Structure formats: structure tokens, C-alpha cells
Structure 1
């Protein structure tokens, strides 16, 4: 087995419950290590059933109450452009599952504007880009994400970057407005591929047999235009955390039992 940190690795859990517990524990431990010595951690969250399950599992872990969350900033890889209280919003899900249970400054939670904010979708995307730029590392107009969580759809989309659409090709800005999404709701704001791939660690979390084909294509090196998940890659680590149902097409040499 290669030890190259740039390699995509697959970590398999027996089922969704164990998957959520495994990822949530690694997430909290990573935050603890990152914020040692007064460093800040920037985390990009994802939505979907597994995104919520990971955060709910993290909330149940006693370690979550011991972390100094004032050193952690939360963002979203994408957001549904609907009303602020709409349960379809990823930030509503994250607050309910985890963020409302921890002691974190409100200013550390960076949400995309909603339809009832008075902004249209283009203004919302631009405002999010401006907020990201406030934490620029100097080399790029966005923060250095310690972890970028991604869900993966059966069509292999990540964030709100869908196959064979113009948004996956955008590289000249940090955010993009998405209209007429193949998956409802139709209007969304998404981080672009350069932002995702600048993260130190990209963690893709997948469960269920309907994700097996997408996982197989992502690992096989398919074109990112048609298989966006294939183009997601962290600067230090790219890890696919999956359950056994999603892992039916994973080559044995890519399975990593130690990460």
C-alpha cells in the first residue's frame, strides 16, 4: 500500500451508524490538534443525510463540550437558496444537529444569505465570496480549510457542482450561483472547485448502494466534468469515508484501515 498523502483512500465502516460515529470522532480529534497553539480552524460543512448524521454523532461525543470553539469557523460547501428558516437549508440542519449544542460565537458561523435577506442569488454568491476573502491566506481569496466535508450524490455531484454543467468549470472566483439545479431546490450557491481543492483535507462521506457507482467512477479517475467527485482532492489528504453498501466497487488496494 502506498503511503503518499496525495493518494485517494477509502475507509469503510460496516453501516451508516458506524460511519457517522467514525467520521465525527476523527473530525473532533482533528479540530483539537489544529487549534493547539491558538491556531484557527476553518471547516467547510456539507448537507445531506450523512452530513447531518456526522454532526449529530459529534454532538453526542463528550469531547465536543471540551473544545474551544471560539477558534473554529464553520462554512458550507454549498447552500440551498431558500428562506432562512427553510429545513432544506444546510445551515438549518447543521445548527439543529450540532452547532446549537456547542459554545461558539455567532460570528464564527458563516452562512450564505437566504431568499428573505433582500439579496438575489447573484448578490448572495458575491457576498459569500467577500466574506471568504476576509479570511484570505494571502495566496488565495478564501481561508485555508482544514477539512472540507463533501457529500456525493448518486450522479457523483459534490457541493452544488453537478455533472456536465458550467459551474464545475468555474475557476476564476470562489463562489458561483447555481440555477435550475438537476436536484431540487433549483437555486443554490456553491463553492467552486479551486476552493474545494485548496483544502488541506477533503473528506467525502457516502453511504448506501446507490452511491457505489459514483464512488467507483470517482476512484477510477473519471473526468471531473462528468464525475465531479473524481475532481475533489485535498492538498494533504483525500479520504472517502463510506459504508459497506457503498463500497462494492472499491479496489482492495485503495482500502485504508488506518486513517
Structure 2
């Protein structure tokens, strides 16, 4: 895996924003999966401002989420709601290019609907780019330590946060691993120790889904700021 360190979180998200421009120039639909969290908020704010808001050909990009909480879009916990507020409200993007998890719906029914949409819309279920974060416990998307079935053949699943009990829908590990490219975007000194473990310890010896989930036939990389990378 590639570990790429940037001096600041802002520098990391600007690099990602530049790559959004390049992806949008491909003459086909490009399927990108977004992450929740504080650092992605920086990314969405950056994309919503010049030059990126006009350079990106938004009509070519299709947006999905690695996971979302089963809450209404106006809830601050909604990953989709944050992107809507920080990015989509400020750009011109076809509504059919936004493939959200409908957190306001019944979880079982929404899981079935979302799984069908994934299967119908993403060619060969291979995402062009999946951007992931990592929690302080090593989880990614809503795939948590000690409760992730890495062999699950489903494209998505219902997950429960181990502490709060909050219900979410998440892409499965197997679906994520089919991506052409996976980028973990991790910032802050609170993640430094766990990143050191991930880099120095065989993945199968660790309980962290973020350590084990990698693109089977593509690129896996870590975009880190200096604080997160300080022990590497």
C-alpha cells in the first residue's frame, strides 16, 4: 500500500479535488463513493469553491456513500445531508447522479432498494474510486472491529454502532475491495498510533477493518496529513 503524506489536511483534500477534475474529464460515467467525517467536510467545501466548482464536469460523476446513518437528511448525523449542504447546494449536478442511502426509510426495505441500485448502476460492481475514512477504533465505512464478515457476498449490509447502537447501512467489505482504487483519507494525531500498527503489523493479525480492506485488483493508498503520519 502507498502512504502519501501532506503537510496539512487542506493540502490532502486539494489533491483529491484536483483528481476529481481529472476523473470528470473521462468520457463516461465515473462512480465515486464518498466518506463521512470532519476531513471530508473540508473536501466538500473545497470542491464547492473556485476553481473546482467550475472545473469539475459534474455531469460525468456519480456519487455514492460508503455508509450512512438511518436518519433524515436534515439530521447532522447524515453523511448525505452534509454533502448536500456543503457541496451539492452550490454546484449544478444532475439529480440522477446522486445515489444516496435513504436514511429516513425502513432499514430492511432501504437495504434491498440500495443493493438493487448498486447492482443496476455500477458496471461489474467495480467503483472507479472509493474514498474512505478511518475511525479511532480502526473501523471504516460502518464496518467495525470484531463484527465485520469479510466474506459476506452481499453488496451492502445493516450495521449497528457497537457503542451507541445507532443503525446504519454500509457497503460490504467485499464490494469495497472490488474497487479500481481505494483511498483512505486520514488526518490528525489521534490516528497516528493505529496507523503505525497498520503499517508495521500483518493485517490478518489486527482487528481493524481499515487494515484488511484493500482493492483486490486495483490501487490502495493512504492520504495522510503530517499529524497522522508522525509515527510512520
Same fold, TM-score > 0.5, yes or no: yes
Partner of 2:59: 70
Cα offsets for 1:66-90 (capped at 9, x unmatched): 3221111000000011123111000
Tell me the residue number matched to 2:2: 9
- 1:194 correspondence with 2:174: yes
Are 1:58 and 2:51 matched, yes or no?
A: no
Asked if 1:108 is matched to 2:133, the reply is no
Alignment RMSD = 1.9
How far 1:224 sits from its partner (Å)?
A: 7.7
- Aligned mate of 1:38, from 24, 27, 47: 27
Q: Distance in 2 between matches of 1:100 and 1:45?
A: 16
Q: In the comparison of the two structures, how many residue pairs are matched? A: 230
CA separation in 2, counterparts of 1:168 and 1:57? Answer: 35
Superposition deviation, residue 170 in structure 1: 4.6
In 2 relative to 1, CA 224–153 (structure 1 residues): closer, same or farther, beyond 3 Å?
A: farther
Q: State TM-score, norm by structure 1.
A: 0.82
C-alpha deviation, 1:206, in angstroms: 1.1
Equivalent residues of 2:25, 2:57 under 8 A apart: no
Secondary structure at 2:42's aligned position in 1?
helix
2:12: which partner in 1? 22
C-alpha separation in 1, matches of 2:221 and 2:26: 26
Normalised by the length of structure 2, the TM-score is 0.90
Q: Within 5 A, what are the aligned runs for 1:69-218?
A: 69-115=58-104, 117=105, 120-137=106-123, 140=124, 142=125, 144-165=126-147, 167-179=148-160, 181-184=161-164, 186-218=166-198
**Runs of 5+ in structure 1 lacking a partner?**
1-7, 251-259
- Cα separation, 2, equivalents of 1:188 and 1:170: 19
The corresponding residue for 2:204 is 223
8 A contact 1:163–1:225 mirrored in 2: no
Question: What displacement does 1:225 show?
Answer: 6.8
Q: Give, in angstroms, the shift of residue 183 of structure 1.
A: 4.9
Q: CA deviation at 1:20?
A: 2.9
Task: Supply the distance in 1 between the matched residues of 2:9 and 2:70 (Cα, whole angstroms).
Answer: 29
Does the aligned pair in 1 maintain the 2:130–2:182 contact within 8 Å? Answer: yes
